[in-house]
Amino acid sequence: MLTHRRWDSLDAADAGWLRAKYHFVVSADGNHDHSALGPLIVWNDDEIDVGAGFPMHGHRDMEIITYVRQGVIEHRDTLGSEGRIQAGDVQVMSAGTGIRHSEFNGGDVPLKVYQIWLRPRKGGGAPRWDTKPFPKGDRSGRFVVLASGFEEDADALPIRAAARVLGATLKTGERIRQALSESRCAYLVVASGSIEVNGERVGPLDGVTITQVTAAEISALEDSELVMVDIG
């Protein structure tokens, strides 16, 4: 079963320096048709002005994955970690028992990122941070696991949730089949381009929940960049 979450149906906020769209409801007066999907509770599409960002603030018991679509993000945290994460890179932060961090646009163009939050299998644990480049060429025509809570995904960034974050790029006319299972669910976002998923057209920046199917059959209607969370 597919449930389409079109770009224009997503909740939104504009703080001047930050423009955000929310694939999952974040406030009491938001779109409650866009409820959490198991441990996947946040998927924000953020655009941040040059020089702006989030000052030092805290998290705990949350797995936070940052997928950089455009620009450069500068990260600092109370572990002493510092990073400059560019488009094509992925950052993960396991908040565990508690971590404070700041994130700013360190480039010269608006920063565009997906902020994906997953609840961990269990609370606690030492906080940690890591980042890794994932060149788009390596994802051409196939999904690559970017972050994973499963030991068999040795090349992915580790997280503590029962989920995988995957990325793919497709040329116009390319098709891929991504195996799932009827006991799992997934959330797929079209970062750019447009596609068909199991026969349903999904436009640029749209999201779609995928449940109770054994596979996602995806065809690119134009050059496309995809990000998906496979849960369970």
4 is in an annotated binding site: no
103 is in an annotated binding site: yes
59 is in an annotated binding site: yes
32 is in an annotated binding site: no
Q: What is the DSSP string of the chain?
A: -EEEE-GGGSEEEE-SSEEEEESS--STTS-TTS--BTTEEEEEEEEE-TT-EEEEEEE-S-EEEEEEEESEEEEEETTS-EEEEETTEEEEEE-TT-EEEEEEE-SSS-EEEEEEEE--SSS----EEEEEE--GGGGBTS-EEEEESSTT-TTSEE-SSSEEEEEEEE-TT-EEEEE--TT-EEEEEEEES-EEETTEEE-TT-EEEEES-SEEEEEESSSEEEEEEEE-
Q: Which residues are annotated as a binding site for Fe cation?
A: 57, 59, 101, 103
Q: Which residues are annotated as a binding site?
A: 57, 59, 101, 103
